[in-house]
């Protein structure tokens, strides 16, 4: 790997910062301590900043030379509302909160890059270091944009990076076009008429209606949607009844829908509603169907993705860059940035979990798992990528 020597030199120090963040996780829009730590580090290196976008957002601003060109590099800061099972020294000190998605590492990687970009890197233009709150369901990217991010920090392109367990350390995955799916939620309430389970003919059973709707919804994927379009309907909750001999008055169904194209999502939403209403009419129940669109799909831009691939190949070698990686049905609010600016989102390999300190939980080192931990070996790799990307994107123009 063609890592930057000074970055390797202070990565151990930056790993301690990462572990401090891990030990003090904060949920979306509550990243007060994390934002202050970021701001203190940036200030110690003499980096000007903009604070307060989306409540706790921090944007470091490094300008060199006279060019008006600019790019943005983004790291997310928030944690998840879950209990950590790890017991090593830097495990969460806040019950019910955990950095189970590696945002502590993303923040530390961008801080590591910031240090070098300010102190030693040579480029001509401006790099905006976007430390974003509330990625985990809070839509922090959307809020930063709504509060004027791109007006206050005009940039030509924006880039994001996420650690990915299962990809080897020192390897990357990226693809042009769809990289991650949209995230959407549905909520269906079926209102029938409860009664004695031994006298079902005197009731209107919402449970049997729920069973029929659940089965019929899956035909949208297999019979309505083009087989070449990827999409998922996952029914994750069915709640009804309180005892064995009573037919309940109502039943509730909830879950998620994922898709890469809005046209496919339009089809799924309409068909889910139609199926629920018509089956409900057949069972003589009342139907209340609600569908909420959360994050749009992450769609990488062709030019910026090809540029990122070129930088990655120079950093870790072509054999370690999967330039047509399999997209994920997970979701990311970096999608909002890519709706407004050209850019690219990449996966950086986090390994299989052997890096974890003694005292880690027994579960796998997967994202959103209570035994997860970010791999500190990624800090110099990810930071070197950010620096090389910036130096190439903002290389001095020929006279």
First to last CA, the chain: 32
CATH code for the domain of 251: 3.30.70.360
State whether 173 and 35 are in the same domain: yes
Distance, CA of 315 to CA of 337 (rounded, Å):
25
The answer to whether 249 touches 206, Cβ cutoff 8 Å, is: yes
Whether 250 maps to a domain, the answer reads yes
State whether 57 and 162 are in the same domain: yes
Whether 177 maps to a domain, the answer reads yes
E strand or H helix that includes residue 105: helix 103-119
Digitized pLDDT (tens) for each residue of the chain, 399 residues in all: 999 999 999 999 999 999 999 999 999 999 999 999 999 999 999 999 999 999 999 999 999 999 999 999 999 999 999 999 999 999 999 999 999 999 999 999 999 999 999 999 999 999 999 999 999 999 999 999 999 999 999 999 999 999 999 999 999 999 999 999 999 999 999 999 999 999 999 999 999 999 999 999 999 999 999 999 999 999 999 999 999 999 999 999 999 999 999 999 999 999 999 999 999 999 999 999 999 999 999 999 999 999 999 999 999 999 999 999 999 999 999 999 999 999 999 999 999 999 999 999 999 999 999 999 999 999 999 999 999 999 999 999 854
CATH code for the domain of 83: 3.40.630.10
Q: Helix 103-119 vs helix 11-23: angle between axes, to the nearest 10 degrees? A: 140
State whether 204 and 301 are in the same domain: no
State whether 56 and 76 are in the same domain: yes
State whether 253 and 383 are in the same domain: no
State whether 136 and 79 are in the same domain: yes
- DSSP states of 317-382 as a string? -GGGEETTPPPBSS--THHHHHHHS-EEEEEEE--SSTTPPTT--SS-S-TT-TT----TTHHHHH
Distance, CA of 245 to CA of 199 (rounded, Å):
10
Distance, CA of 82 to CA of 100 (rounded, Å):
8
Question: Tokens for 139?
Answer: 């839509």
Exposed e or buried b per residue across 265-275, where buried means at least 16 C-beta atoms within 10 angstroms of its C-beta: bebbbebbbeb
Distance, CA of 120 to CA of 140 (rounded, Å):
31
Whether 398 maps to a domain, the answer reads no
E strand or H helix that includes residue 289: strand 286-293
Which of 255, 271, 293 corresponds to the end of one domain?
Answer: 293
> The pTM is what?
0.95
Domain holding 311, by residue range, is 5-181+297-393
Whether 302 maps to a domain, the answer reads yes
Question: Tokens for 230?
Answer: 């990827």
Which of 244, 260, 293 corresponds to the end of one domain?
Answer: 293
Coil, strand or helix: which one is 193?
A: strand
Question: Tokens for 150?
Answer: 């791109």
Rg over alpha carbons for the chain, rounded to the nearest Å, is: 24
Whether 399 maps to a domain, the answer reads no
State whether 328 and 213 are in the same domain: no
Sign of the C-alpha dihedral computed for residues 309, 121, 169 and 110 taken in this order: negative
């Amino acid at each position: 790997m063609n890592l930057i020597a000074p970055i390797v030199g202070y990565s151990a120090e930056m790993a301690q910062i990462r572990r401090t963040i891990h030990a003090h996780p904060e949920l979306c829009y509550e990243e007060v301590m994390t934002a202050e730590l970021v701001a203190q580090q940036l200030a110690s290196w003499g980096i000007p900043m903009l604070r307060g976008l989306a409540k706790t957002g921090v944007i470091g601003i490094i300008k060199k030379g006279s060019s008006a060109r600019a790019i943005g590099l983004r790291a997310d800061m928030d944690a998840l509302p879950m209990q950590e099972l790890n017991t090593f020294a830097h495990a969460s000190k806040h019950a019910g909160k955990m950095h189970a998605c590696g945002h502590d590492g993303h923040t530390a990687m961008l801080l590591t890059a910031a240090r070098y970009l300010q102190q030693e890197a040579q480029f001509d233009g401006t790099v905006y270091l976007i430390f974003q709150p509330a990625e985990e369901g809070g839509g922090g990217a959307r809020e930063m944009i709504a509060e004027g991010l791109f007006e206050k920090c005009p940039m030509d392109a924006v880039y994001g990076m996420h650690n990915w367990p299962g990809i080897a350390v020192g390897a990357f995955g990226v693809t042009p076009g769809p990289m991650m799916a949209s995230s959407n939620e549905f909520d269906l309430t079926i209102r029938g008429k409860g009664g004695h389970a031994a006298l079902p003919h005197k009731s209107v059973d919402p449970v049997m209606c729920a069973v029929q709707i659940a089965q019929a919804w899956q035909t949208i994927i297999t019979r309505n949607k083009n087989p070449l379009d990827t999409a998922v309907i996952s029914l994750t909750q069915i709640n009804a009844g309180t005892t064995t001999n009573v037919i309940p008055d109502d039943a509730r169904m909830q879950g998620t829908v994922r898709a890469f194209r809005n046209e496919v999502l339009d089809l799924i939403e309409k068909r889910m509603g139609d199926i629920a209403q018509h089956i409900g009419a057949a069972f003589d129940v009342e139907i209340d169907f609600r569908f909420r669109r959360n994050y749009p799909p992450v769609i990488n831009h062709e030019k910026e993705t090809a540029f990122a691939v070129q930088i990655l190949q120079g950093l870790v070698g072509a054999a370690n860059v999967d330039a047509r990686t399999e997209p994920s049905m997970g979701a990311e609010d970096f999608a909002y940035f890519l709706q407004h600016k050209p850019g690219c989102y990449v996966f950086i390999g986090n390994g299989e979990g052997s890096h974890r300190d003694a005292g880690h939980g027994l579960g796998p080192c997967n994202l959103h798992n209570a035994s997860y931990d970010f791999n500190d070996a990624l800090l110099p790799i990810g930071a070197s990528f950010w620096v090389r990307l910036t130096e190439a994107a903002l290389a001095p123009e020929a006279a």
